[in-house]
Copies of this chain bind each other. A is one copy, B any other.
Amino acid sequence: MKNSTSYYAKILSEKGLKASHQRIMVLDYLDSHRCHPTADMILSALKQDMPTLSKSTVYKTLNAFVDANLLREITIEDNEIRYEYNLMDHGHFKCESCGQVYDFTIDFGLLKTKDLDGFQINDRNIYFKGVCKSCLDNEQNNV
């Protein structure tokens, strides 16, 4: 656990959410790991310590967190929603070989276009796909 239970409980109550054990565990997981898991990955990871945790609780928890602006949803592939506890502007890279999602910094101020003059922009997303350095290195070693 990266921070104390009361630390996460405070965050939750500030957002008007009850600080249940399950919610604290989910929030802690996302804060500690800083990865980009799907709902199913979170469930699998937390089931080890909470065998009774249910899939629907994980889904409801994540949706509540997104509604409360505590998490961001990431949509790279159509068949999976990923979540992250990092509200700073940044881009995502998904490796087509190993499936891992990497963050990268990017200057969103450069993303200007006249085509959207008069539009209200609420959310900006960038994602790349390709092969990560680690997979490329492995390929070379195996050839």
Q: Using a CB–CB distance below 8 Å, which chain A residues touch chain B? A: 73, 75-81, 91, 93, 96, 102-106, 110-111, 113, 115-133, 136
Q: So how many copies of this chain end up in the complex? A: 2
User: Contact between B131 and A102 (Cβ–Cβ < 8 Å)?
Assistant: no
User: Contact between B113 and A104 (Cβ–Cβ < 8 Å)?
Assistant: yes
For this complex, 10 residue pairs linking A to B, each with C-beta atoms less than 8 Å apart, are: A73-B78, A78-B79, A102-B116, A104-B115, A105-B113, A106-B113, A119-B136, A122-B131, A124-B126, A124-B128
Contact for A130 among B73, B121, B126, B131, CB less than 8 A: B121
Contacts A75-B77, A78-B73, A125-B127 given; indicate if A132 touches B119 (C-beta within 8 A): yes
A111: chain B residues within 8 A (beta carbon): 91, 106, 110, 126
User: Contact between B130 and A115 (Cβ–Cβ < 8 Å)?
Assistant: no
Q: How far, in angstroms, from A103 to B119 measured CA to CA in the complex?
A: 13
